[in-house]
């Protein structure tokens, strides 16, 4: 109910006729890109270590396998 009242009040409001200069527009774009970039880097940082460990394990298996076949 409260959300419906807030939405109704937003729909009733008049235009503010405010000027957004190029500095504020560029700053807003910078903030949005920085926020999205930080989310992407956080996900990359969380997923990087397990993937790196898995690749290292596969390389070690492959190297042990080739060493074993070379010695035979």
| pLDDT 10s digits, 5-21 | 989 888 887 777 778 78
Residue recorded with tokens 């774009």: 29
Stronger pLDDT, 18 or 34, i.e. the higher one: 34
Predicted model pTM: 0.52
User: Where are the domains positioned within the chain?
Assistant: 39-67
User: Which two structure tokens, joined as six digits, stand for 16?
Assistant: 């503010």
* Cα–Cα–Cα angle for 22, 25, 26, rounded to 5 degrees: 85
Q: Would you mind telling me the total number of residues written for the chain in this entry? A: 72
Confidence of residue 67 (pLDDT cuts 50, 70, 90): confident
DSSP 24-54: HHHHHHHHHHHHHHHHHHHHHHHHHHHHHHH
């Amino acid at each position: 109910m409260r959300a419906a009242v807030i939405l109704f009040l937003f729909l009733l409001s008049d235009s503010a006729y405010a000027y957004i200069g190029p500095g504020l527009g560029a700053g807003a774009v910078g903030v949005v890109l920085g926020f999205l970039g930080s989310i992407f880097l956080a996900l990359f940082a969380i997923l990087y270590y397990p993937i790196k460990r898995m690749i290292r394990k596969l390389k070690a298996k492959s190297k042990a396998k080739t060493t074993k076949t070379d010695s035979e």
